[in-house]
Structure 1
Amino acid sequence: MKRPVVGMEGLRRPVPDETWDRYSARPVRSLDELQMAAAIRAAVFMSEQACPYEEEYDGNDLCGTHFLLFDGAEPVGTLRVRWFADFAKLERIALLPRERGRMGLRVLLAEMFELVARKGYRRMLGQIQARLWPVWSRTFKCRLLPGRGPFWFSDYEYREIEILVPEHPDALPMEADPYVIIRPEGAWDTPGVLDASADRAPGQDEAA
C-alpha cells in the first residue's frame, strides 16, 4: 500500500512501519461505507456522549468528505472534512473505545492530510472539545486560534484551532488532466472507469 508521505508531515510523531501492516484508512466512496461511518459516530457521540440525533447528524454529512479507519477489514474510526474557499474544516473524529491510544488514529489523520494537501489546501479549522487540546496539540501540528474564546454546543466546551497542512508537490490545479480530476476522491493516480470510456470517443478508431 502506498503510504501518505506528505500526509505524515502533518503529524507530530511518525507512524511506525508495523502500524501500516495492521491499519488502513481511505475516503468513503459508497453508501455502505457512509453507513459504517454513521454507525461509529452513533456509538461514540450518541451512546457515550449522549449527543442528540439532530445535533450529531447536522445536515452536513452529504456536503463533506468522510474517511474510515480499518483495523484489518473492520471499520473502527471515522472523521469528516468540509471544504471552504481557502481552508478545510476537520470534524467528527470518532474512534471505537478499544482503538483509543493506539496508532490507528495517526494512520487516519495521515491519509486525511494527504488528501487535503493534494487538493491544495494549506490550513484547516478544527473545533475541538477544550479538554482534548493537550491530546490534539501532541498529535498534529496546530495552534489555538488567537483572540477566539471558548464556546459551547452539545453540552461540551469547545475551542477553535488552526491546523497546518503540509504543502504537496503534486497538488491538483484546475488545469490538471481532465481524466485525473474526474477520478474517485483520493484515487487521482489510478485510472478510473471514465478513463476507459475515452475509447468510445468519436474518432478513436480513425486515430488508431
Structure 2
Amino acid sequence: MEKSASTSGKHDNLIRAEVVTTPEQLLHAYAIRAICFLEEHGVPARQTYDGNDYQATHIIVYAEDEPIGTARIRWFKDFAKMERTSFRKAWRDPRTIKKCAEFIFDHISRKGYDRVITHAQPTYARLWRSLLGFRPVPNKDPLYFEGHDEPYLELIKELNPPKNAITADSDTAVLFRIEGQWDDRSEFEARRT
C-alpha cells in the first residue's frame, strides 16, 4: 500500500535514493517517468524518452522497495544538468523531494562539479528556488515547447565539491569503480600486500 504524502515525512528512514546500476532500476525509473510525464502531463513518449537516456546518470528513489521518484543527470564540461525529475503523487512532499535532491547534489559535487542547472515551468521553478536553493539564470530567454502552455525557465545552483571529489589525481582504482560507489573496493581489484 502506498504511503500518503502527509505520512511520508514520518517514514524518512524508509526513503533512499540510488544511482541506477541495474536494468531493473532503470525500468523503475522509466515507469515513474511514464506515470508522471505520459499519464499526468500528456507529454508524448518521444519527448519523455530520448537519446539522452543513454548518456545520462539516472537516479531512482525508493520507499522501502517501492519506486517513488526518479531524476536524470547529464554531464557537460563545467556543469551538470538535472532533468526529468518526477515523483509519484503520494510522495510529492518537501522532505522526499529534498532528500532526493541532496543525494543528487552530493553525487554531482563528488564528481567535481560546482554547478547544476535545471529547467522548470514557473510553478516548479518556485519550488526549486524556495526548497532547493536554485536561482534564475540571468539573461536567458525562457524556452517554449509545443503543447506546453508555460515556458521553461533556466535555474542554477552552486555546489561545493568535497575534498574527495573525483579528479584526474584520484586513485586509479577509484576511476574503475561503479558510478557512485567510488569508496567501495571492486571485487575485481587485486589485493596486493
Question: By the TM > 0.5 criterion, same fold?
Answer: yes
Q: Which runs of 5+ in 1 are unaligned?
A: 1-15
Whether the 8 Å contact between 1:40 and 1:96 is mirrored in structure 2 is yes
Residue 194 of structure 1: SS of its match in structure 2? coil
Q: Percent identity?
A: 31
Residue 84 of structure 2: SS of its match in structure 1? strand
Residue 61 of structure 1: SS of its match in structure 2? helix
Which of 134, 142, 147 lines up with 1:155 in the alignment? 147
The amino acid of 2:158's aligned partner reads L
The amino acid of 1:177's aligned partner reads D
Structure 1, 87-96 or 169-178: larger mean CA deviation: 169-178
Structure 1, 104-113 or 32-41: larger mean CA deviation: 104-113
Whether the 8 Å contact between 1:183 and 1:194 is mirrored in structure 2 is no
Q: Which has the larger radius of gyration?
A: 1
Distance 1:154 1:27, change over 3 A: farther
The amino acid of 1:28's aligned partner reads V
Q: Residue 3 of structure 2 corresponds to which residue in structure 1?
A: none
Whether the 8 Å contact between 1:28 and 1:68 is mirrored in structure 2 is yes
Which of 156, 175, 192 lines up with 2:169 in the alignment? 175
The amino acid of 1:79's aligned partner reads A
TM-score by length of 2: 0.89
Q: Residue 106 of structure 2 corresponds to which residue in structure 1?
A: 114
CA positional deviation for 1:25: 0.5
Q: Which runs of 5+ in 2 are unaligned?
A: 1-8
Residue 153 of structure 1: SS of its match in structure 2? coil
The amino acid of 2:81's aligned partner reads K
The amino acid of 1:178's aligned partner reads T
Distance (whole Å) between structure 2 residues aligned to residue 164 and residue 141 of structure 1: 9
Which of 32, 45, 55 lines up with 2:47 in the alignment? 55
Q: Does 1:98 align with 2:90?
A: yes
Structure 1 residue runs of 4+, over 2 Å off?
Answer: none
Give 1:128-139 correspondences, 5 Å limit. 128-139=120-131
TM-score by length of 1: 0.83
Q: Residue 46 of structure 1 corresponds to which residue in structure 2?
A: 38
CA positional deviation for 1:131: 2.3
Q: Residue 4 of structure 2 corresponds to which residue in structure 1?
A: none
Distance (whole Å) between structure 2 residues aligned to residue 19 and residue 162 of structure 1: 30
Give 1:16-31 correspondences, 5 Å limit. 20-31=12-23
Whether the 8 Å contact between 2:115 and 2:156 is mirrored in structure 1 is yes
Residue 108 of structure 1: SS of its match in structure 2? helix
The amino acid of 1:61's aligned partner reads D
Whether the 8 Å contact between 1:130 and 1:150 is mirrored in structure 2 is no
Residue 38 of structure 2: SS of its match in structure 1? helix
Residue 81 of structure 2: SS of its match in structure 1? strand
**Structure with greater contact order relative to length (CA < 8 Å, sep ≥ 6):** 1
Distance 1:112 1:83, change over 3 A: same
